Amino acid sequence: MKKIFFLILIFTCNVVIAQSEQPRTIVFKLLDMSAKPIANSSIPKSNNATFNNFLQEFSVEKYEQLCPYSKNTDLLKYYYIITCVKTDVIGALKAMTKTVSDIDEKKAPISTHVPTDYMYTLTNQNPNTDSWLWHLKKIDAEKAWDITKGEGTKVAVIDTWFDVNHPDLKTKFIYDYDPKTKEKFNNTSKIANPKLSHGTETSSCVGAQTDGGGQLASIGFNTKIIGYEWTNGVNKAHHASLVENADVISISWYDSYTKPSEYIISEIKEMLDNGTIIVAAAGNYLCDNKPNIPIYPFSPLIDDRIICVTSTDYQDRHQYFDSDGSEKTHAHYPSVTICAPGYNIMVAMPTITADGTENEWPYYGFAKGTSSAAPIVAGVCALMKSVNPKLTPKDAKKILMQTADPVADAAKFPNGVGSGRVNAYKAVKAAGTRNFTNSTLSGNRNLSAGYGFNLKNAKIGTNSNIKLTARCEVNIDGTFEVPLGSEFSIEIEENARSN
């Protein structure tokens, strides 16, 4: 955590203050041993006057031998300094040609959260293929998890049936029953029925246990799941929004190609007005041989705030070549919003058989379809909500479209695959960033952001006290003013929440 105060400032700048930014560590080889650090000195100091001036000018915080334990005599000549000064430290060192050489600034490592789950480990061992959990790599999940792991968010999955005792799901469901009907998800014949295992599969795409407990990992990471059996599915989704306050609703089904009744449309609009993000599958290539016709009830043609998702493969192609060489696609039409991985997605499968006995491990398998693509986007939306709880469905859709990566063969499907393939990191970063351009921040205010702030040509009002708390970074660009008597502070805090 860093805290920085600005008082009585009027300046033009282009500054980035970031949570990942560390004090500068610079390594060099000492040629003049009179410049070596004096042991037990309370401040960095040597017997070389010129080098002492350098240490003072650049506010060096630490000056020590790099490898005092080394048996290599050449390595013993290497020292390092630590400073937070951003001016040309390297240039000053290079100017002292008789004192130092071989100068190297050690960059801070860029952290990425890598789940410990077995299948994610296998994914790292098999990069650039469509094996294991390739889809999480493709959408930049690790960098998104560095910002947030979805704490405090809820995704309602309206689907067939759910194996709530699956090792990758048993800690993820808020209830072990449908909250609307109170029917428990413990009917073994339903859990084991291949036609009804769809809900187990889709929920594992949203929020399978990540970092322990099972074998999978999911984009939603710590987001929780509310399961609803899909009979009267729109009403169940309505209940999830208005009664359970779900942040996101994931829909991987349709019921017709025709516009639904007015009361259903009213229910859908009320969910969106309530702030609930709705993510719906666009349909598959087997949709009654009508891949280019929109499906209902959850369609952007009902309300353009709905996010409609179709599929891409591990090479970012919408057109998929099956193992037999045949060419296939999932649905594509003008109301599609975005693509997400939807071919060869590893999902959870039932742990029990129809007679109630334990199924043989592993309880996993590959799935294909927009039924997998949509819940992946729903999980991304949950991460976006965790950094910005006030994120509206309209803004969530806009951000997803603006931050998408290109679809490799989009030209083959004009106006059919939306704005591109979802990028979780870019979407979460954009959702959690607050922008102030040509703005005056006045009064006593504590502002927070789930990712960061962009201040451009901004200023602090007279006699004001403004504090910004961000999870990752604060960008200050252009003219920035803090008048006499006002206070401005920045705090980079890993667990900050937007408000």
Cα–Cα dist 110/424, whole Å:
17
Cα–Cα dist 120/114, whole Å:
8
Q: Quick check: 205 and 197 in contact, CB under 8 A?
A: no
What is the per-residue pLDDT across 326-339, written as a single tens digit (0 to 9) for each? 777 899 999 999 99
Q: How far is CA 332 from the centre of its chain?
A: 26
Stronger pLDDT, 474 or 24, i.e. the higher one: 474
Cα–Cα dist 29/48, whole Å:
15
Alpha helices by DSSP H, 393-449: 393-402, 424-431
Q: Looking at the predicted structure, is the pLDDT value of residue 112 above 60?
A: no
Task: Report the sign of the C-alpha dihedral through residues 44, 47, 53, 58, in that order.
Answer: negative
pLDDT score, position 499 = 37
Q: For the ranges 169-178, 344-353, 394-403, which has the lowest average pLDDT?
A: 344-353
Q: Looking at the predicted structure, is the pLDDT value of residue 308 above 80?
A: yes
Cα–Cα dist 318/329, whole Å:
6
pLDDT score, position 11 = 41
pLDDT band at 288 (very low <50, low <70, confident <90, very high): low
432 phi, psi to nearest 5 deg: -95, 10
pLDDT score, position 259 = 92
Q: Per-residue pLDDT averaged across 36-65, rounded?
A: 91
Strands 444-449 and 465-470: parallel
Q: Note the pTM of the prediction, 2 decimals.
A: 0.79
pLDDT score, position 115 = 55
Q: Which of 2, 148, 146 is nearest to 450 (CA)?
A: 148
pLDDT score, position 361 = 67
Q: Which residues contact 224 (CB under 8 A, 6 or more apart)?
A: 153, 154, 155, 172, 173, 174, 207
Q: Per-residue pLDDT averaged across 332-361, rounded?
A: 87
How does the average pLDDT of the chain come out, rounded? 87
What is the per-residue pLDDT across 419-466, written as a single tens digit (0 to 9) for each? 999 999 999 999 999 999 999 999 999 999 999 999 999 999 999 999
What is the per-residue pLDDT across 136-186, written as a single tens digit (0 to 9) for each? 999 999 999 999 999 999 999 999 999 999 999 999 999 999 999 999 999
Q: Per-residue pLDDT averaged across 8-30, rounded?
A: 59
Q: How far is CA 10 from CA 7, 127, 354, 393, 438, in A?
A: 9, 50, 73, 39, 15
> What is the per-residue DSSP string for 445-457?
EEEEESSEEEEEE
Give the H/E segment covering residue 435. strand 433-437
pLDDT score, position 15 = 47
pLDDT band at 270 (very low <50, low <70, confident <90, very high): very high
> What is the per-residue DSSP string for 202-245?
HHHHHH---SSSSS---TTTT-EEEEEESTTHHHHHHHHHHTS-
pLDDT score, position 366 = 86
Query: What per-residue string of b and e applies to 45-55 under the rule 16 or more CB within 10 Å gives b?
Result: ebebeebbebb
Stronger pLDDT, 456 or 70, i.e. the higher one: 456
pLDDT score, position 118 = 59
Q: Quick check: 322 and 366 in contact, CB under 8 A?
A: no
